[in-house]
Amino acid sequence: MTDVRDNRRGILAMAIAMAGFNLTDALTKLATEQLPLGETVFLRGLFATAAVAVAVAADGSWRRIRDLATPMLALRLFGEIGSTLFYLMALVHLALPNVSAVFQATPLAMTAAAALFLGETVGPRRWIAIAVGFVGVTIIVRPGLAGFEPASIWVLVSVLFVVVRDISTARLGTRLPTSLVTLATATAVTLLGAALLPFESSVSRVTEWTVPTLGQLVLLATTAAALVTGYVLLIKATQLAETSAIAPYRYTLLVWALFWGALIFHTVPDAPTLIGGAIVVATGLYAFHRERVRRAEREATRTAQ
C-alpha cells in the first residue's frame, strides 16, 4: 500500500515534471522552425545525456550500470522512444495547445491501464468518465470533419506509448536509481534523433542538416535542461505514488501549453479544441475524485474492522 506522503510527493513531482516537459515542447517546436527535427532531438539529447552522466558519476550510481539490463527497463525505453517520436512529429505540424489538448487523454488511459495491468480498483463511474473523456478527445480531433488534422492521430499513438512507459516504470519500482534510469532514457532518445537524420524530409519542415548558431545551441541546451528536469521528476513520481493518484496532475500540461502557445507562438485554440479539452480535463478530475472517495471508503472499512 502506497503511503499517503509518498502520494503527495509523487503528485508534486508530477506537476513540476509537466511544467518541465511543456517548456521542452515549446522550445523544441521553436527550434524545429530553424533546424531539422532529427538534428534538434539529437543535439538536445547530447546536452541532456551529458548533464545526466555527470549526475550519475557524482552519485556513484554508475557502479550499477549492469543492472540496466532488465526487460522492464527495455520496455520502458521502448515506450519512451515511441511516445517521443510520435509526439514530436505531431508537434512539428500542429499548434502547441492542440497537441497538449489531445495528449490530455493520457491520464484517462493510465487510469484504465492501472485497472487492467496493475490491479488497481476502478469502479463503474470512473469507467464512464473514461468513456466520456474519449468523446472529448474525438471533439478535439474531429475525424472526418473540416479542421481534422491527421497529425492529431500521432498524438493518440504517443499516448499509447506513454501508457507502456509509465506502466513499466511503475513495475520497475525503485530497484534502479532514478539518475541511472534517466541516463538510459536520455541516451535512447538521443539515438532516436540520430536515427531520424536520414529521414528528415519525411518528418521535418527543415529537411537539411544545419550548423547551429550559438543562439540555437543555447536554445537546445535550455531545452535539454527542462527535459532532464521532466525526466527525473516523472520517474520519481511514478516510483513513489499510485498511478491513479498522480495521473490527473498531467492536466497541468494543458495550462502551460496555453500559456506558451500564446506567449511564444501567438496561437489560441479554436472552440472545439477548448470544449473537447474541457471535457477531457473534467472527466479526468472526476475520475481522480472517485479514486479518492474509494480510497477513503477502504480506509474507513479497515479502521472499522
Tens of each residue's pLDDT in the chain, 305 residues = 556 788 888 889 988 998 898 999 999 999 998 899 999 999 999 999 999 999 899 888 888 888 888 899 999 999 999 999 999 999 988 888 889 888 888 878 888 888 887 777 778 888 888 889 889 888 888 876 666 788 889 999 999 999 999 888 888 877 888 889 889 999 999 999 999 988 877 777 777 888 999 999 999 999 999 988 988 898 888 888 877 678 778 778 888 888 888 888 888 888 888 898 899 888 888 887 777 777 777 777 777 66
Q: Give me the pLDDT at residue 203, please.
A: 75
Q: Give me the pLDDT at residue 44, please.
A: 92
Where do the H-state alpha helices sit in the chain?
A: 4-32, 37-59, 71-93, 96-103, 105-117, 124-141, 151-172, 178-196, 200-203, 214-240, 243-246, 252-264, 271-304
What total of structural domains would you count in the chain?
1
Q: Give me the pLDDT at residue 146, please.
A: 62
Q: Give me the pLDDT at residue 144, please.
A: 65
Q: Which residues contact 299 (CB under 8 A, 6 or more apart)?
A: none
Residue found by looking up cell 532531438 in the block? 41
**What is the domain extent for residue 63?**
4-304
Q: Where are any strands of DSSP class E within 52-140? A: none
Residue found by looking up cell 555527470 in the block? 54
Q: Give me the pLDDT at residue 79, please.
A: 96
Q: Give me the pLDDT at residue 201, please.
A: 75
Pick the closest to residue 186 from 86, 106, 92, 80 (CA basis): 80
